[in-house]
Structure 1
């Protein structure tokens, strides 16, 4: 059972401007609550007890909003980045907090109805397990395919989008230095060896990447 997670919250949110000129994207309100609060509540309900939150742009506002996590029955530890290290770089910087154990990572700017409890319960057999979703309108080409329960190269016949939610074994990042580094090349490297598991989710998921998507999600959740 995984009991530690990381929320990625260091992005500038350029496509969300002007909203993100005064607020970091994870603090944008959705039905009266900061977007990231939905993750914290779901993680706590799933039995997660420690959450690492990386931040860069307006990170002090994230710390002021959530504090040490006590209000959510969590321990929140902040991993501050003077300049955003991108996804893989931010995770590598935070690795010491996971004490060599598998952990969950959630993008701070997505909304998803997936059951974190079930996701954390099944043992991680490979180096990672990615949650893949049906391709949204803004990303119709997708990212990956699935073959025998593992992430594979996308093809014309099949493609899914990476949700930004995944489980990782620290070995996935072995030997890497703390520096700006995207995640996709690492995924592709390890999937060639069949070591990246896939989990399909067909429920509600939204990459809250633009003001329009945020407004549409607010409307959907109000129905």
Structure 2
């Protein structure tokens, strides 16, 4: 039996189209923000949380991600010849992720910690008896570099609810989460979004969420880089 929370996956296979021309030669996770790559920031947070094995998928300029990770011994690389999106990427990596709940982190976002590190808060909030997925949300109004309408409402019992037809929702999904392998028991094959599985878990009452109490930053375009760097703490 795998120890809970000892495994993680970092999603680093995106094309980074909106970040061009920077991402013509650098995969988006390796774009430096305030002197450190987004991928390294995610890996550092997982290291601090005591994760013992981390899978990193890659596709666009994947050899650069491979070379960048050469000095990190606990990394398993999951190269994708064809882009599998978030759901397909995690499904392909499941043999390396154990049989207990594991972290999944997007490699193209940044966050700063609140009073307690975000991954520790997710770990403390996890209830294996009633959850298959636990999402970290952030207030839409205070997200830096994000101008979307938000993703979720949050019920008093911690259950998220999709924005649906509402013009705006108070919370967005941060790209940081805990997932259990059983979430993937009936997953589609090939390329698909994790949203497919979130909706199934939501319908079964097994999708939960907590709200991040630190900062959250999205670097979507080259023009957003200076604005995000200006707001990141020194």
TM-score, normalisation: structure 1: 0.91
User: Of 24, 30, 46, which residue of structure 2 is paired with 1:21?
Assistant: 24
Decide whether the 8 Å contact of 1:93 with 1:178 is kept in 2.
Answer: no
Choose the corresponding residue for 1:173, options 170, 175, 184.
Answer: 184
Q: 2:170 aligns with which of 159, 178, 190?
A: 159
**Cα distance, 1:107 vs. partner?**
0.3
Please point out which of 41, 45, 48 is paired with 2:44.
41
In the other structure, the counterpart of 1:78 is 77
Cα pair 1:104 1:166 within 8 Å, conserved: yes
C-alpha RMSD of matched pairs (Å): 1.8
Task: Return closer, same or farther for 1:218/1:191 CA change in 2, 3 Å cut-off.
Answer: same
Query: How far, CA to CA, are the matches of 1:15 and 1:161 in structure 2?
Result: 20
Unaligned stretches of 5+ residues in structure 1 = none
Mapped contact 1:24–1:57 kept (Cα < 8 A): yes
Distance 1:197 1:18, change over 3 A: same
Q: Which residue of 2 aligns with 1:197?
A: 208
1:34-59 deviations in Å (ceiling 9; x for gaps) = 11111111111111111100000011
**Quick check: 1:149 aligned with 2:158?**
yes
Go from structure 1 to structure 2 and tell me whether the alpha carbon gap of 1:177 and 1:67 turns closer, same or farther (over 3 Å shift): farther
Deviation at residue 185 of structure 1 after TM alignment:
2.5
- Change in Cα spacing, 1:78 to 1:124, as seen in structure 2 (3 Å) is farther
Q: What is the CA deviation profile of residues 71-100 of structure 1, one whole-angstrom value per residue up to 9, with x for unaligned ones?
A: xxxx00001100210010101000111122
Q: Relative to structure 1, is the Cα distance of residues 24 and 151 closer, same or farther in structure 2, using a 3 angstrom cutoff? A: same
Cα distance in structure 2, aligned partners of 1:128 and 1:218: 31
The residue aligned with 1:104 is 103
Question: C-alpha separation between the residues in 2 aligned to 1:209 and 1:158?
Answer: 20
Select which of 203, 208, 232 maps to 1:221: 232
For residue 124 of structure 1, report the CA deviation from its aligned partner.
3.4
Unaligned 5+ runs, structure 2: none
2:67 corresponds to 1:56: no
